[in-house]
Amino acid sequence: MNSTLDKLIAQIGELPPLPVVTQKALDVIRDPNSSMGDLAKILSMDEAMTSLVLRWVNSAYYGLKYPVSTVQQAVTFLGQRTLHSLVLAASVASLLDRSAPGYALERGELWRHSIGVAAGARLIAAKFGQRIAEEAYHAGLLCDIGKLAFEVLLRNVDTSTEEWQGDFREMEYIHYGVDHATLGAEMARRWRLPNTLVDAIAHHHNPSEAEEGFLLAAAVHVADAAAMSLGIGIGKDGLQYILDEAACEKVGWSDSMFNDLSARIIPFVEEADQYIRARRKS
């Protein structure tokens, strides 16, 4: 690890860990000898996870005729890939449902933005196959996870001063030597997520510099810009978004794609919003 990042993490104290239930579920998903029943068993043990899975499977998005009432049924219906995405979403929901005043984000906005980028990145990457599309969803969901760690430092900084004006990500660099993307990638690495995902998180603002995660970074980058222009979670780093040309070309970005995306992202974000509100009450 580079020493600037090392020092920054020491300053923060500790990076947010991945919840134990998620780590267990991801281990089962990665294990070729495990069954869908093993996964259902782990998910059933966690109330928040169970409620998310059931809420999602019964949402308008899937349009089921009869409601699904058990995790076991949901696991069978959704399949492992979608489940993988849900497990991650449920895990980061509690982490992302916080205000981030340093980024001018109110409580719930970081969650809404992340879920919007995730859904957008999945749609954008769909033409490259279902596996890539689900990975793009994960990368979108986690792209700004580093803001949670950065927030600990920014809490004590007045970012409305002249010193902090300009490209916010550049300001992170100037003041701390790394940006939220690098810090988020380090969190993902510690959570033992795949390298392509780590690379995509690290380069979601500069996808042309990504290596193995270029396609994912490109999908997330474009989805991030689209979510910003739809007004979903506009924080300080979204005010000066410059689209990367190579990324647009890679994913075949067009006006009709944007229209399609906005029509589908908005209901998805609303659904996620309802979920997080219900979660706060429980």
What residue ranges bind Fe ion (CB under 5 A)?
Answer: 144
Q: How many CB atoms lie within 10 A of CB 246?
A: 12
Q: Are 98 and 148 in contact (CB under 8 A)?
A: yes
Q: How far is the CB of 157 from Fe ion (least distance, A)?
A: 18
Reading the block at residue 28, the tokens are 């089962």
Judged by beta carbon, residue 144 or residue 199, the one nearer Fe ion is 144
Judged by beta carbon, residue 41 or residue 173, the one nearer Fe ion is 173
Residue whose C-beta lies closest to Fe ion: 144
Helix (H, G, I), strand (E, B) or coil at 100: strand
Q: Are 232 and 116 in contact (CB under 8 A)?
A: yes
Judged by beta carbon, residue 103 or residue 268, the one nearer Fe ion is 103
Judged by beta carbon, residue 28 or residue 96, the one nearer Fe ion is 96
Q: How far is the CB of 178 from Fe ion (least distance, A)?
A: 13
Q: Are 150 and 180 in contact (CB under 8 A)?
A: yes
Q: How far is the CB of 184 from Fe ion (least distance, A)?
A: 8
Q: How far is the CB of 235 from Fe ion (least distance, A)?
A: 8
Q: How far is the CB of 220 from Fe ion (least distance, A)?
A: 9
Strand partners, 100: 105
Q: Measured between alpha carbons, how far is residue 156 from residues 102, 214, 278 in Å?
A: 8, 35, 31
Judged by beta carbon, residue 46 or residue 144, the one nearer Fe ion is 144
**What count of Cα atoms within 13 Å lies in the side-chain half-sphere of residue 187?**
28
Strand partners, 105: 100
